Chains A and B, each alone.
Chain A
Amino acid sequence: MAASIGPEVLRAEHVEKAFGRIVALRDVNLRLCRGEVLGLLGDNGAGKSTLMKIFTGFFRPSAGQLYFESKPVQLRSVSHARSLGVEAVYQDLALVNELNVYRNMFLQREPVFGGVLGILDERQMRRRAIEMLDRMKVRVPSVDVDVARLSGGQRQAVAIARSVFQKAKVLLLDEPTAAMGAKESALILDLIQRLKDGGEIAMIIIAHNYAQVFDVCDRINLVEEGMIAFDKRTSETSVQELTERVVRQYRSVREIARHERS
C-alpha cells in the first residue's frame, strides 16, 4: 500500500555548517513532506550526520534557514526540535544500557508526580510502553529488562518505537540497519515500511547500504563533499544508477589520492 505524500514538514535552504576551518556542509537545500521517506546517502564524512544533527537541534547551522511546516524556525536545542516533533534515532541509538526498555522509551519525557520531587510514574510508563510496542508489533522479552540484554534489532526497534511514541512528525534514522544481520535488518525495514504505510510520519534514512533501504524510500539524495549532489525520486532512478555514481565517485577519490601521492 503506497501512502500519499502530504504537505511539507521540513525544509532546509542554503544551509551551511563549518567547524573552524572545516566546512562540513555547503549550500544544502532539502525538502521533506508528510508521509515521505527520503534516503540520504553518501560516503563517510560527506556531511550526512552533520545535517541530521542540524535538523535535531544538536548543531546550529553556520548559515541558511530551516523551515518547519513551512514556517522559518531556528532550532535552539534538541528539546526544542523534539517539542516540534523532530525525533532522531542515532547510530549510537541514544539508548542507555543501564535502563530498562520502558525507562528508555520515556527518557527526558517521563510522566512524574509529586511536584518538584519529580517522582517517576513507573506504572504509567510501563503500561504505555507495552501498548506502544504491541501496536507497532515490536517484540521484546519484557519492558522490564535492561536494553543491554536486547539484540541489535530489538534495540533499534525500541529506539524507533520511542521516537514514534513521542508523536514524531519527522523521524531521522541514522544507519538504522548498520551492523545487523539480514534477519534483524528485515525486522527494522518492515517496521519502517509499516510507519510509511501509516502516512503520518516523514522520515529521513541515512544509509551506506543504499540497496537495502532503496525499496522503502520515495526519494534519494546523495551527499558529496557537504553538498546534495543528486536528488531523484526512486521511481526515476535505480540501485544500478546509484552504484555507478558511487563507483565514479570512488574512482575520482582514488585518482585524487594518487595524484597527491605523486
Chain B
Amino acid sequence: MQVEAERVGGVADARFTDKRREGSLRRASGVVLRWPEASILLAGALLAAYFQSTNSAFLSQSNIENLIDYTATTAIIAAGEVMVLVCGELDLSVGMVYALSPFVMHFALAAGLPAGAAVALALAAAGLVGLVNGAITTFLSVPAFVTTLGMMFLINGLTLTISGGFPVEPQAAPLFAAIFGGDASARLAWSLGIAIALQFVLKRTRFGLHTVATGGNLLAAAEVGIRVKSIKIRNFVLCGMLGGFAGIIDAFRIGSIDPLAGGAEITFAAIAAAVIGGTLLTGGSGTVIGALIGALVLGILKDGFTLSGVSAFTFDMILGGAILVTMAVNVRLTLWRERGEG
C-alpha cells in the first residue's frame, strides 16, 4: 500500500516537474512570440556560444572590440535602412553616401571650417542625396530600387572624382576625433543611442506611426490624409544622413578616408541586418533594435568564421548559407508568432 502510495506520489512529482518544465518552455516561447527581437537575439547568443566553444579567443576583449567596430557602423546604416524599408521603399545608395560624406567633411575642414560645421555640412550633403532619392521616387514614381541604384553609381563616380581616387587623412582635434568614432566606446554609444532613439521614433511617435501606415497600406494612409510622399522623403533623408554619419565614424576609427570604402557590400550588410532583425522588405513592419542585433549577428558570423580559420573563398558561401538559415528560422518564428497571437 505504502509502495503504491510512493509510486503514485513519484508519478505526481514527475508530472509536477514536467508541468513546471512545460510552463518554463511556454514562458520562453511567449517571450519569443511577444518580442520579435528575441528570436534573433537567441540566434546570436547561440552563435556566440558556439564560436566561444570552438575558440576561446572569441570573447576576448580585443575580439569584442572588433565586433563592436563591425556592428557599430553596420547598425547605424541599418537603422536608416529600417526606416526606409518600413515606409515601403529601399535605399541602395547609402553605402556610397558612406564614402562621400567623409570627403565633404575633409574638404570643409581644408577650407577652414570648424570641425563641428564640417561634420554638419557632410551630414547635410548626405541628407541632400536622400532628398533627391526621395523626390525622384515619390514625385517621378520611379521605383526606389532603380532610383537608388542609379544614385549608387552617381555618388560613387562623384566621390572618385572629387577625391582623385586617393585616400586622405581626417584632420580634427584628438577629442573631436575620439567622440566621432576614434574611440571604441564612442562608436558603441553612437550605435546604441541611434538605435534606441530611432526605435522610440518608430514605435512611439506620430512620425513613426505614419511611417508604418505608409508602408503598411499606402492608399489607406493617403486616404486618411497622411502626406505619404513627405513621409517617404523624410525617411530617405534620414537614411542618407545616417549613412553619411557612419562613414564619418569609420573615417575617424580607421584614420583614413577611403573613396573605395563602403559601397554595395556595406549597403547589403545593412539591409541583411535589417531583414535578419525582423524588418519586412514589403514595408509596414520593422524594428531598429532588431536591426542592431541583426548587425551583431552578422558581425559574430564574420568574426567567428575568421577566427575558425575558414578560407576567404568559402567564407562568403558559409556567410550566405548562415544568413539564409537565420532568415528561414526567423520567417518560421514570425509565422508561429502570428498563429500564436491569432
Residue of A nearest to B280 (CB): A98
- Beyond A98-B216, A107-B209, whether A78 also contacts B284 by CB under 8 A is no
* Smallest beta-carbon distance A125→chain B, Å: 10
- Beyond A98-B285, A149-B341, whether A56 also contacts B207 by CB under 8 A is no
Residue of B nearest to A107 (CB): B224
Residue of B nearest to A95 (CB): B220
* Smallest beta-carbon distance B140→chain A, Å: 19
- Beyond A94-B220, A98-B285, whether A78 also contacts B205 by CB under 8 A is no
| A118: Cβ under 8 A from any B Cβ | yes
Q: Which of B39-89 contact A (CB under 8 A)?
A: none
Contact A118 B216 (CB under 8 A): no
Residue of A nearest to B205 (CB): A118
CA–CA, A206 and B207, complex, Å? 33
CB contact between A78 and one of B209, B215, B223, B285 (< 8 Å): that residue = B223
| A179: Cβ under 8 A from any B Cβ | no
Residue of B nearest to A103 (CB): B209
Residue of A nearest to B206 (CB): A118
* Most chain A CB atoms below 10 A, which of B220, B225, B342: B225
* Smallest beta-carbon distance A175→chain B, Å: 15
| CB-defined contacts of A84 to chain B, threshold 8 Å | none
* Smallest beta-carbon distance B30→chain A, Å: 16
| B154: Cβ under 8 A from any A Cβ | no
- A: number of interface residues (CB 8 Å): 28
Q: Which of B241-299 contact A (CB under 8 A)?
A: 284-285
| A214: Cβ under 8 A from any B Cβ | no
| CB-defined contacts of B284 to chain A, threshold 8 Å | 96-98
| B327: Cβ under 8 A from any A Cβ | no
* Smallest beta-carbon distance B243→chain A, Å: 23
Contact B206 A96 (CB under 8 A): no
* Smallest beta-carbon distance B221→chain A, Å: 7
Contact A118 B223 (CB under 8 A): no
CA–CA, A82 and B223, complex, Å? 10
Residue of B nearest to A114 (CB): B205
Q: Which of A57-82 contact B (CB under 8 A)?
A: 58, 77-79, 82
Contact B205 A120 (CB under 8 A): yes
Contact B217 A97 (CB under 8 A): yes
* Smallest beta-carbon distance B237→chain A, Å: 16
Contact A88 B223 (CB under 8 A): yes
Contact B209 A99 (CB under 8 A): yes
CB contact between A96 and one of B205, B207, B213, B341 (< 8 Å): that residue = B213
CA–CA, A103 and B210, complex, Å? 10
Contact B204 A108 (CB under 8 A): no
| B152: Cβ under 8 A from any A Cβ | no
- Beyond A117-B205, A120-B205, A120-B206, whether A96 also contacts B223 by CB under 8 A is no
Residue contacts A-B, CB under 8 angstroms, 27 given: A58-B222, A58-B223, A77-B225, A78-B224, A78-B225, A88-B223, A92-B223, A94-B217, A94-B223, A94-B224, A95-B220, A96-B217, A97-B216, A97-B217, A98-B212, A99-B209, A99-B212, A107-B209, A107-B221, A110-B209, A117-B205, A118-B205, A120-B204, A120-B205, A120-B206, A122-B204, A145-B341
Instruction: Give 5 new A-B contacts, CB below 8 A, not counting A103-B209, A112-B206, A119-B206.
Output: A94-B217, A96-B284, A97-B216, A99-B216, A110-B209
A residues bordering B, Cβ < 8 Å?
56, 58, 77-79, 82, 88, 90, 92-99, 103, 107-108, 110, 112, 117-120, 122, 145, 149
